[in-house]
Chains A and B, each alone.
Chain A
Amino acid sequence: MSYTWAAYLVVLVAVVAWVGIIALKLQRLDRELRELEHK
């Protein structure tokens, strides 16, 4: 693999990781919000 593709891959992995973390966080917030509404 060339250095160019390696650099693009690193950035892609970082963005995917960020999306995953945010998705998990928003999922948790959504669950907490539903629990609060039920109370």
Chain B
Amino acid sequence: MLGVGFGLALLWVGELEGFAAGGIFFLHVPIALTAYAMLGWGAWKALRLLWTGEERYDLESYTAIHIGVIFALLTLVTGSIWARAEWLVWWDWRDRQLVAFLILFLFYSAYFMLRYSLEPGSGRMRISAVYALFGAVLIPMSFLAVRLADQFLHRTPLIRRGTPDIEGSVLAVFGVCLAGMLALAAAMYAVELAGKRLDLRLREAHA
């Protein structure tokens, strides 16, 4: 699905009108939305852990955040490449969305430092879950803050005063790319989670 989406994006739509290197739109925006989705999923699993106390949610939350951080890093890298083409700079500290997303990325990167600085057990599970839930506050803040504030550099062609700013066919191709990216993240989540569960069982068997 992702291959079809990118194929349509690059060969049929080409570069998005009014943007330098507009083809990155079909890559950067789906990756960013997938990062939000995976970090949000991780926070939801953390909430489920605190709510029910079931240990399996700890591994699910950790895996979702891991995949989310990978996608967040790719968002920053692809965004930086796009910024170089569009604004002639790799990064601009004055732009709120860039800084908000960087804070989100750093916050969830620190999740791993916190997790591995604690002894495995129920205490680590709960502290990690609370931290992941705190981070969830940053997700809507990062997503909405700039849309509500005045535009500076970072443009939002999908949502401008409530209506999409791009053609229907382009929006359809974008939808395929987004669905493909979400499917890729879901597949990565499932594979990584299966691996981590197997690893955990083997460690328990060895112990």
Produce 1/0 per residue, B180-207, CB < 8 A to A. 0000100010011001001100100110
CB–CB A7/B70 < 8 A:
no
A14 near B202: Cβ-Cβ < 8 Å = no
B4 to chain A, nearest CB (A): 14
A18 to B31, CA, bound (A): 15
Query: Roughly how many angstroms separate A33 CA and B197 CA in the complex, as a whole number?
Result: 13
B74 contacts chain A at the CB level, 8 A cutoff: yes
Complex alpha-carbon distance, A32 and B21, angstroms: 47
Query: CA–CA, A6 to B83, complex, Å?
Result: 13
With A and B bound together, what is the CA distance between A27 and B82 in angstroms? 37
CA distance A2 to B84 in the complex (A): 11
Closest B residue to A10 by CB, please name it: B77
B interface residues, how many (CB within 8 angstroms): 29
Q: Are A8 and B74 in contact (CB under 8 A)?
A: no
Residue pairs across A and B with CB atoms within 8 Å: the count is 58
Q: Which of B133-168 contact A (CB under 8 A)?
A: none
State the CA gap A7–B78 with chains docked (Å). 5
B74, A6: Cβ atoms closer than 8 Å: no
A29 → chain B closest CB, angstroms: 5
B15 near A33 (CB under 8 angstroms)? no
Is residue B111 within 8 Å, beta carbon to beta carbon, of the partner chain?
no
A residues 6-35 touching B (CB-CB < 8 Å): 6-8, 10-11, 14-15, 18, 22, 25-26, 29, 32-33
On whether the beta carbons of B202 and A29 are closer than 8 Å, the reply is yes
Of the listed residues A11, A26, A33, A36, the one surrounded by the most CB atoms of chain B closer than 10 A to its CB is: A11
Q: Can you give 19 A-B contacts (C-beta < 8 A)?
A: A2-B21, A4-B21, A7-B24, A7-B27, A7-B82, A8-B10, A8-B23, A8-B27, A10-B74, A10-B78, A10-B81, A11-B31, A14-B70, A14-B74, A22-B191, A22-B192, A29-B199, A32-B202, A36-B202
| Residues of B participating in the A interface, judged by any CB pair closer than 8 Å | 6, 10, 15, 20-24, 27-28, 31, 70, 74, 77-78, 81-82, 84-85, 184, 188, 191-192, 195, 198-199, 202, 205-206
A-to-B contact residues, CB < 8 Å: 2-4, 6-8, 10-11, 14-15, 18, 22, 25-26, 29, 32-33, 36
